């Protein structure tokens, strides 16, 4: 029998209570839109949880705790690159030789943070898969009652925390002039070292690896004590004050050097498209006459020489050839330049007149254009 349904019909604490009472072993999957979380149980107790199964949340938590050095991380990353199905948390614990009790404490804290994030889901779907193992199992085991009670306590305090740190995309900045002497714990100091006036709350959560609730709680405490300011203030406040004093003293205002912008790589302009696109020359197939015949000769006087020449064309408009004629044919000038030679055989000329396929006017204009080249 499968245990599945929607969170609007069954609340997540009730589902946990049912799984704990029946001492189930497996994985509870929760999905909402593109989000996918998972809670692993063994005999009714929580062994691990992830608010986002696509991330190595427990491995990030181990890195943020400072228990793993660079050598162990490099060895674990190399082995993980060869097989993505492996657990980063288990590889870090193995390569770094971590203490078993420390690793279990970090795994229990990670599971509690993940359940708190999942308890904030107002809707979604759930399904329990029996006997599905925990890929990040490091020996932790937390009773369901404790996990649910801690999650509900955090939900009650969450509204007050978001008043100090309003949104995940809020930028926090170190206050350069706190009202009292600064005092911070080791975890708070590690968080202060990551604040640069540009990173958001979400960035600090990812970098610290401590989980959303723990990071936001620490940030809210630092803001309430005046060590952090929400928004890009910090050094800009000192610059404004010094600029005001310099103007009152009649001294030139020294602005902080601007960070030079990286020069953009020169782009190669694309070739401009032609205004008139190219197109192939028209091709007209030559006409073939119905019967072979000889075309009339057309004479034209040669420029400046008086020696006449004729250019003949076939009745079909195909090939043309040039033949020399004697002066007896007479000179051809002016408007009579394209008139037919009087010496042409009238019988041949009558054939052209009778052939309806011959366009005499077009043929005359074609010959005149060729001679004008």
Domain ranges of the chain: 3-157, 165-230, 297-371
**pLDDT at position 237:** 60
Say whether pLDDT at 314 is over 60: no
- Which of 23-37, 65-79, 259-273 has the largest mean confidence? 23-37
When the pLDDT of each residue in the chain is averaged and rounded to a whole number, the result is: 75
Say whether pLDDT at 29 is over 90: yes
Q: Are strands 297-301 and 308-313 parallel, antiparallel or unpaired?
A: antiparallel
Contact assessment for residue 63 and residue 96, using Cβ atoms and an 8 Å cutoff: no
Contact assessment for residue 310 and residue 325, using Cβ atoms and an 8 Å cutoff: yes
Which tokens in the block code for residue 320?
């043309």
Contact assessment for residue 239 and residue 224, using Cβ atoms and an 8 Å cutoff: no
Closest-CA residue to 193 (of 64, 58, 61, 55): 64
Alpha helices in the chain (DSSP H): 12-21, 57-64, 70-82, 88-95, 100-119, 144-164, 186-192, 201-208, 212-224, 235-248, 346-354, 360-371
- Which of 56-65, 240-249, 351-360 has the largest mean confidence? 56-65
Residues 6+ away with beta carbon under 8 Å from 239: 255, 256
> CA-to-CA distance for 312 and 354, rounded, in angstroms?
19
Angle, to 10 degrees, between the axis of helix 70-82 and the axis of helix 88-95? 140
Name the residue with higher pLDDT: 289 or 302: 289
Strand partners, 127: 4, 29
Whole-structure pTM value: 0.60
The residue-averaged pLDDT of 154-168 equals: 87
Q: SS3 of 359, please?
A: coil
pLDDT-derived band at 145 (thresholds 50, 70, 90) equals: very high
CATH architecture for the domain at 165-230:
Orthogonal Bundle (1.10)
**pLDDT at position 362:** 64
Report the share of the chain in percent with pLDDT over 70.
Answer: 63
Hey, which bits of the chain come out as E strands? 3-6, 26-32, 35-42, 45-50, 125-130, 142-143, 172-174, 228-230, 297-301, 308-313, 320-324
> CA-to-CA distance for 49 and 38, rounded, in angstroms?
6
- How long, in residues, is the chain? 373
Say whether pLDDT at 368 is over 80: no
**pLDDT at position 313:** 42
182 Rama sector, left if φ>0, alpha if ψ -120 to 50, beta otherwise: beta
Which tokens in the block code for residue 46?
């929580």
**pLDDT at position 208:** 82
Stretch among 33-47, 107-121, 239-253 having the lowest mean pLDDT: 239-253
The residue-averaged pLDDT of 66-80 equals: 89
**Which value, in Å, is the radius of gyration of the alpha carbons in the chain?**
47
Angle, to 10 degrees, between the axis of helix 144-164 and the axis of helix 212-224? 40
**pLDDT at position 357:** 58
């Amino acid at each position: 029998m499968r245990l599945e349904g929607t969170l609007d019909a069954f609340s997540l604490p009730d589902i946990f209570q049912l799984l704990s009472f029946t001492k189930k072993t497996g994985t509870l999957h929760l999905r909402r839109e593109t989000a996918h979380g998972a809670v692993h149980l063994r005999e009714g107790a929580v062994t691990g949880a992830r608010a986002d199964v696509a991330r190595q949340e427990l491995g990030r938590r181990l890195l943020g705790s400072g228990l793993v050095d660079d050598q162990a991380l490099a060895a674990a990353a190399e082995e993980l690159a060869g097989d993505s199905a492996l657990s980063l948390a288990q590889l870090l614990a193995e390569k770094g030789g971590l203490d078993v009790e420390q690793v279990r404490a970090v795994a229990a804290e990670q599971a509690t943070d993940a359940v708190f994030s999942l308890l904030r889901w107002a809707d979604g779907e759930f399904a329990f898969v029996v006997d599905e193992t925990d890929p990040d199992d490091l020996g932790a085991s937390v009773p369901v009652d404790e996990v649910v009670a801690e999650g509900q306590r955090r939900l009650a305090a969450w509204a007050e925390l978001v008043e100090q740190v309003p949104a995940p995309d809020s930028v926090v900045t170190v206050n350069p002039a706190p009202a009292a002497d600064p005092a911070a714990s080791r975890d708070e100091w590690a968080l202060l070292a990551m604040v640069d006036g540009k990173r958001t709350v979400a960035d600090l959560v990812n970098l610290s690896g401590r989980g959303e609730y723990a990071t936001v709680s620490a940030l809210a405490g630092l803001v309430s004590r005046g060590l952090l300011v929400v928004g890009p203030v910090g050094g800009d406040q000192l610059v404004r004050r010094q600029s005001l004093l310099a103007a009152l003293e009649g001294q030139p205002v020294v602005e902080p050097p601007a960070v030079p912008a990286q020069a953009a790589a020169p782009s190669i302009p694309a070739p401009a498209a032609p205004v008139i696109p190219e197109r192939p020359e028209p091709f007209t197939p030559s006409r073939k006459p119905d019967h072979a015949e000889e075309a009339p000769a057309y004479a034209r006087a040669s420029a400046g020489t008086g020696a006449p020449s004729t250019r003949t064309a076939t009745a079909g408009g195909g090939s043309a050839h040039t033949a020399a004629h004697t002066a007896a044919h007479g000179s051809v000038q002016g408007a009579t330049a394209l008139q037919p030679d009087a010496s042409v055989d009238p019988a041949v000329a009558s054939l052209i007149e009778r052939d309806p396929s011959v366009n005499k006017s077009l043929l005359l204009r074609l010959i005149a254009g060729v001679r004008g080249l």
